[in-house]
């Protein structure tokens, strides 16, 4: 997570929920057009 430090808090919450057994089997992830290109 060094590349996108602004995502770190959300990423850590997501990981914590999976580690606690509360992770959902499907995730919807939205990005702005052109991101990731």
Rounded Cα distance between 2 and 17, Å, is 21
In the structure encoding, which two tokens stand for residue 25, read together?
């089997």
Residue 37 has pLDDT above 80, yes or no: no
Residue 3 has pLDDT above 60, yes or no: yes
**Main-chain phi, psi angles of 23, to 5 degrees:** -70, 145
Q: What pTM, to 2 d.p., does this model score? A: 0.54
Give the pLDDT confidence score for residue 35 in this predicted structure. Answer: 75
Give the pLDDT confidence score for residue 2 in this predicted structure. Answer: 66
pLDDT tens digits, residue range 12-35? Answer: 988 898 889 887 777 777 788 887
């Amino acid at each position: 997570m060094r590349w996108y430090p602004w995502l770190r808090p959300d990423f850590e919450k997501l990981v914590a929920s999976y580690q606690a057994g509360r992770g959902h089997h499907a995730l919807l992830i939205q990005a702005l057009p052109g991101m990731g290109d």
